[in-house]
Amino acid sequence: MTIENLLSASALPYEAPDFNGYQDDEFLPAVEEGIKRARKNIEKIRNNPSAPSFENTIVALEAAGEELSRVSSIYYNLYSAHTNDTLQALSQEIGPMTAAFSNDILLDGQLFDRVNLVYEQMDRLPLSTEEKTLLETTWLGFVRNGAKLGEKDQTRLREIDGELSKLSPLFSKNVLDATNAFELVIEDEADLSGLPESATEMAADDAAEHGYEGKWRFSLDMPSYIAFMSYADNRAYREKMWRAYTSRAMEGEHDNTDIVKKIISLRHERARLLGYDTHAAFVLERRMAKDTKTVMNFIDRTLEKALPKAKDDLKALADFAKKQDDIEALKPWDIMYYSEKTKKEVFDFDAEALRPYFELDKVLEGMFLHAQKLYNLDFKEAEEGRYSVYHPDVRVFEVWDRSDDSFKALYYLDFFPRPSKRAGAWMNVFRAQGLEDGEQKRPIVVNVCNFTKPTKTKPSLITHREAETMFHEFGHGLHAMLADVTYKSMSGPNGVLWDFVELPSQMNEQWLGEMETLETFAKHYETGEIIPQEMVDKIKETQTFMSGWQTLRQQSMSKLDMLLHSSDPSEIKDVVDFERKIMKEVELLPYEGGCLSTSFSHIFAGGYSAGYYSYMWAEVLDADAFEAFVEHGLYDAKTAEKFKTLLASGASEDPAVLYERFRGRKANEDALFRRKGLLEAEEAA
């Protein structure tokens, strides 16, 4: 395939990416060509003899880099979901190249003058709400990226952005390599005691794939790690797994400690150049929370609510471990194990007993039916060969609107772990909804996960938590699929303030705890029996189990993120020591080693720097929003239509306005505390 074809719209239906034709060595020249074409478009805008207008400047800028965006989206999706040495090496060239190009635009004084002239006329122009948002966002993009700086500071800003564009991919590579470097191979079947059949069968298949026939291989991939830590009776092996996981990229060949210090130092310097005290201050200016004080107050308030219950949670585990196994001192590698044991005894709840009711394909069918009932969508799996995929595991669905039989989106699903895929789960787009080549185009969306794989004797039977992740990422996907705006930068999650972006995903998880939803698909994979009501009741009963501990951990990570990005980096001599000072304030167990920062990909290789708090912030919104469905009916058409409108609006309007329009008021923080069982009886009343 030629670079021209790679950059051009695909001949496949709906211009879907043609992965069969892409060669790794074509991406660099394709990006170079994409930049060249975008520069020509920018030149036309800059040198336009007509007076600056919304159309000839703001809309023209929006469209200037369409071909570059197309090839970049394909490259970075492959980099995360199906990488190799070549793609990883290319990141060290493509990242700086695209960062430099972005700076060339945002630091172009002549271009900014045109944008500024239009911005100054905003109140006098006949613009829609979305157009005003696009204009303001464009102007802020220039200002917040150095358009008003002097030449010397702009030069330094370029250098910083170039360095950061190399460091984040390198951080991610080290985490992936450190994850893949560890394995626990078990030869004695007795050492598998406590592990469910699903985990041992998966480990046997994995061992065979890696040349350990007749043995069992466990790794740091989530399905393997969580199963082992939750059920393996062998405490020494649990410790070994825990230490490997918590020390990823902490030292040795894949050490990220210096990279962490470099990233936070460069981010701090960049913020100072732009006139902000810290990177956190810079980031939060464009968040619902607005400033560091508001975020820290929110974190501390949540920690205060969670701490008493977290202590009770831990005492219950310690008492159980003492009674059960005469464990004198609970260790971090005991938490997941004794949590499962305690749930089984106290609630008669066994998470593994749920697994037969969550066959992945059935969950998928139920998830699609859920979207049909809420948003009137149909999901039709494409015939083999109709679309190209980047790995045989990937499945493609066409999404249609049942009300008028119109095409809504292409939806790619990639479920299972492999060495070429980074850990975690995420949503991305190969193309966002909105104007492209002068036409309205529908989105091409992908969800990537790392779920329990099928074995030789069983289909993929996922845990309830994996099903929640599936619904979560689907919520992000729906945000993109239902988008109905004019401009791509305003579409779906694109451009949405970061502490609002998790609302659609976390909201979508909530239906998975309701019998009305579960009875449509949660059926035993062998007998077809619908999940018993008593099991669903137990899911609900256990919702607040360990919620204090989990909230404490989540918000301690948020606090670490905020303090890494609101402190003077020159004071962070040692990453581990700095982390320890923060975490020990909320830790209820003695430190046993490890470092979160060196594998904290959300903030060092993702978009969550000074923003990890947004998960809990959005939980306030989703807890409050879901109460509207509880009040009116889980699939109440009127409530669903109002929420669909919120999703369709993307970033075209202030998220606070969108939320209040849906709910009729601001979100009530107590909704979150109620759901987590963190309110005292008199507060909950």
pLDDT tens profile 151-197: 999 999 999 999 999 999 999 999 999 999 999 999 999 999 999 99
Please indicate, yes or no, if residue 262 is contained in any of the structural domains.
Answer: no
Number of separate domains in the chain = 2
Q: Within this chain, do residues 188 and 142 fall inside the same structural domain, yes or no?
A: no
H or E element: which one contains 476?
helix 464-481
DSSP string, 132-162: HHHHHHHHHHHHTTTTTS-HHHHHHHHHHHH
Least confident of 64-68, 185-189, 402-406, 678-682: 678-682
Q: What is the pLDDT of residues 303-339, one digit of tens each?
A: 999 999 999 999 999 999 999 999 999 999 999 999 9
Give the type of residue at 512: L
Instruction: Note whether 396 and 410 are within 8 A (CB).
Output: yes
Range of the domain at 242: 182-247
pLDDT given for residue 9 in this prediction: 75
Average pLDDT of the chain to the nearest whole number: 95
Number of H helices, E strands in the chain: 29, 9
pLDDT given for residue 2 in this prediction: 58
Of the chain, the percentage scoring pLDDT greater than 90 comes to 92
Which of 247, 276, 296 finishes a domain? 247
Q: What's the pLDDT band for 4 if we cut at 50, 70, 90?
A: confident
Distance CA 294, CA 603 (A): 19
**How do strand 377-381 and strand 216-218 relate by DSSP bridges?**
unpaired
CA 26 to chain centre: 28
Mean pLDDT of 267-277: 98
Q: What is the pLDDT of residues 576-587, one digit of tens each?
A: 999 999 999 889
* CB contact set of 229 (below 8 Å; sequence gap of 6+): 238, 241, 242, 333, 336, 337
Residue 587 bears catalytic tag = no
Q: Which of 476, 452, 481 is nearest to 464 (CA)?
A: 452
- Specify the CATH number for the domain of residue 42: 1.20.1050.40
Distance CA 653, CA 172 (A): 33
Instruction: Note whether 241 and 231 are within 8 A (CB).
Output: no
Is the predicted pLDDT of residue 20 greater than 90, yes or no? no
In this structure, the dihedral spanned by the alpha carbons of residues 227, 231, 235 and 237, taken in order and rounded to 10 degrees, is -30
pLDDT given for residue 22 in this prediction: 86
Rounded to whole angstroms, what are the CA distances from 213 to 151, 186, 203, 217? 63, 11, 11, 10
Q: Within this chain, do residues 136 and 217 fall inside the same structural domain, yes or no?
A: no
Reading the block at residue 274, the tokens are: 């732009």
Q: What is the pLDDT of residues 279-308, one digit of tens each?
A: 999 999 999 999 999 999 999 999 999 999
pLDDT given for residue 680 in this prediction: 63
* CB contact set of 433 (below 8 Å; sequence gap of 6+): 409, 440, 441, 442, 443, 480, 483, 484, 485, 488, 491, 492
Please indicate, yes or no, if residue 187 is contained in any of the structural domains.
Answer: yes
Q: Which of 224-253 are b and which e, b meaning 16 or more Cβ less than 10 Å from the residue's Cβ? A: bbbbbbbbbebeebbebbbebbbbbbbeee
* Length reported for the chain: 685
Q: Within this chain, do residues 65 and 118 fall inside the same structural domain, yes or no?
A: yes
Q: Within this chain, do residues 119 and 188 fall inside the same structural domain, yes or no?
A: no
Is the predicted pLDDT of residue 683 greater than 70, yes or no? no
Of the chain, the percentage scoring pLDDT greater than 70 comes to 99
Handedness of CA 341, 343, 346, 348 (dihedral sign): negative
Which of 193, 213, 247 finishes a domain? 247
* DSSP class of 425: -
Reading the block at residue 583, the tokens are: 């975490």
Q: Within this chain, do residues 66 and 15 fall inside the same structural domain, yes or no?
A: yes
Reading the block at residue 187, the tokens are: 């030869």
Q: What's the pLDDT band for 495 if we cut at 50, 70, 90?
A: confident
Pick the catalytic residue: 473, 502, 509, 619? 473
Mean pLDDT of 521-536: 96
pLDDT given for residue 1 in this prediction: 45
- Other CB atoms closer than 10 Å to residue 362's CB: what's the count? 20
Distance CA 217, CA 206 (A): 6
Q: What's the pLDDT band for 685 if we cut at 50, 70, 90?
A: very low
Q: Within this chain, do residues 136 and 206 fall inside the same structural domain, yes or no?
A: no
Instruction: Note whether 499 and 295 are within 8 A (CB).
Output: no
Is the predicted pLDDT of residue 684 greater than 50, yes or no? no
Q: Within this chain, do residues 15 and 130 fall inside the same structural domain, yes or no?
A: yes
Q: Within this chain, do residues 144 and 186 fall inside the same structural domain, yes or no?
A: no
Mean pLDDT of 448-463: 95
* DSSP class of 396: E
